[in-house]
Structure 1
Amino acid sequence: MIVEAAGRLFFAAGSARVSMDDLARTLGMSKKTIYRHFPDKRSLLAAVLERQFAAVERTLVAAAEDAEGQPFGERVQRFLIAAGGELGRIGAAQLATGRGDAMVRQCVEQHVDAVVYRRLDELFQDGHRRGLLTAPPELLSEITRGALERVLTSQLPRELAWTAADLLRATVDTVLHGAIRSAHPGNDDEQLLPVVPAARRDEEEVGP
């Protein structure tokens, strides 16, 4: 109950702005009771992050299962969009790169590496084993990591009037176009689809 309430407060207002007094008032209990379970705010935030990244991992596992049997490009696309959405939801990029507690930054970085990037590496390695990649999987992993982190902290969604998902689709298409081979020459099934921003898709569906 304490971790759940702390998570709501930390991610709504930012952990630096939430005191243990704020949390005690929200829970209707004394700080002494909270300190029985968590000796300090850092240990509580670490527990919140553990809970959040467990939810991220469940989402990524579900996304991978849903994409099973799909063309490789579609699998990569779905994974990155799911990962970007989850990391954006919990503010992982801001926690990992912003000012604040070094322990928190390290904790976030370790979780992102274990939960997101390890799975991304495995996905590219699988594509390499299947002969679907023209570039080394290690290179694609590094490029895609940088692109994912940059998109999460970028102002481009607002400047371009694109959703974060649109940007991630465009990122995957740009980074991997030409790197993913078609399973059957002349067949475009293994190629990523062109990106159409959400706003433009809406206009096309409505018509003139």
Structure 2
Amino acid sequence: METKSVSSVSEEDVRAELILDAASRLFLGPGRVSMDDLARDLGMAKKTIYRHFPGKHSLMTAVLDRQFGAIERTLAAAADEARDRPFGEQVRRFLVAAGAELERIGAAQLATGRGDAVLRRHVEQRIDTVVYQRLDAMFDDGHRRGLLSAPPRLLGEITRGAVERLLNSPLPRELDYTAADLLRTTVDTVLYGAISRPGNKIEVTS
């Protein structure tokens, strides 16, 4: 009996992962996808999906949490790789990695909620936690170390605006660049002007 129970749990876990894989592929792609579409793609009954996820909201939340978990691991790896590099390069690598990951999952489209206010709030909260709070901490650390010539809150607002604008802008497509490529240029143009250099210190009161 015990072995059978363990086997049953394992099969259920595998089925839940298959559902999440298909939902990630379909729901994060272009266009609207219904639970009927998902069931057809999986070749299983909707009631089987609902046994694992009570509704589309709970399924989308699980999909997003898994995606943002992967983004968090990518950003942590980028931070580790840049740990011994100059502060500007650390911020630059973090932002470029964040821009690439957010673009990959279509965060701009998800942040509109596709007409769903609950989904929109969840995406906004996850982006704030995974990306912007980490970015604010980096800027605060740079300010404490005397490496920034501009208030960290100002830099946080500028970079937030740049990330969100580029993810929503048609400019990357028009210039045949990714949003991450243009974010790299934005960081180089805006951020490096705020990093203190010998003889280039600007006194700013926050």
Q: Which runs of 5+ in 1 are unaligned?
A: 187-208
Percent of residue pairs identical: 72
Residue 160 of structure 2 aligns to a residue in which SS?
Answer: helix
**Counterpart in the other structure of 2:23:** 6
**Counterpart in the other structure of 1:101:** 116
The separation in 2 between residues aligned to 1:5 and 1:135, in whole angstroms, is 45
Residue 28 of structure 2 aligns to a residue in which SS?
Answer: helix
Residues 113 and 119 of structure 2 are in contact (CA less than 8 Å); yes or no, is this contact kept in structure 1?
no
Shift of residue 29 of structure 1?
A: 1.2
Shift of residue 75 of structure 1?
A: 0.7
1:42-86 per-residue CA deviation (whole Å, 9 max, x = no partner) reads 111111001110011010000000111101111111011000000
Residues 39 and 49 of structure 2 are in contact (CA less than 8 Å); yes or no, is this contact kept in structure 1?
yes
Query: Which range moves more in the overlay, 153-162 or 53-62?
Result: 153-162
The separation in 1 between residues aligned to 2:160 and 2:154, in whole angstroms, is 10
TM-score by length of 1: 0.83
Shift of residue 31 of structure 1?
A: 0.7
1:175 aligns with 2:187: no
The separation in 2 between residues aligned to 1:159 and 1:38, in whole angstroms, is 40
Pairs within 5 Å for 1:18-29: 18-29=33-44
Out of 73, 84, 91, the residue aligned to residue 69 of structure 1 is 84
The separation in 2 between residues aligned to 1:143 and 1:25, in whole angstroms, is 44
Q: Identify if the C-alpha distance between structure 1 residues 163 and 33 changes in structure 2 by more than 3 Å, giving closer, same or farther.
A: closer
The separation in 1 between residues aligned to 2:178 and 2:53, in whole angstroms, is 38
RMSD: 1.4
**Counterpart in the other structure of 1:203:** none
Query: Which range moves more in the overlay, 42-51 or 157-166?
Result: 157-166
1:159 aligns with 2:174: yes
Shift of residue 11 of structure 1?
A: 1.6
The separation in 1 between residues aligned to 2:163 and 2:102, in whole angstroms, is 10
TM-score by length of 2: 0.84
**Counterpart in the other structure of 2:61:** 46
The separation in 1 between residues aligned to 2:170 and 2:133, in whole angstroms, is 27
Shift of residue 98 of structure 1?
A: 5.4
Residue 178 of structure 1 aligns to a residue in which SS?
Answer: helix
Query: Which range moves more in the overlay, 140-149 or 153-162?
Result: 153-162
Q: Identify if the C-alpha distance between structure 1 residues 82 and 145 changes in structure 2 by more than 3 Å, giving closer, same or farther.
A: same
Runs of at least 4 residues off by over 4 Å: none
The separation in 2 between residues aligned to 1:32 and 1:151, in whole angstroms, is 40
Out of 123, 126, 132, the residue aligned to residue 141 of structure 2 is 126
The separation in 2 between residues aligned to 1:158 and 1:45, in whole angstroms, is 27
Aligned residues: 182
Q: Identify if the C-alpha distance between structure 1 residues 93 and 42 changes in structure 2 by more than 3 Å, giving closer, same or farther.
A: same
Shift of residue 12 of structure 1?
A: 2.2
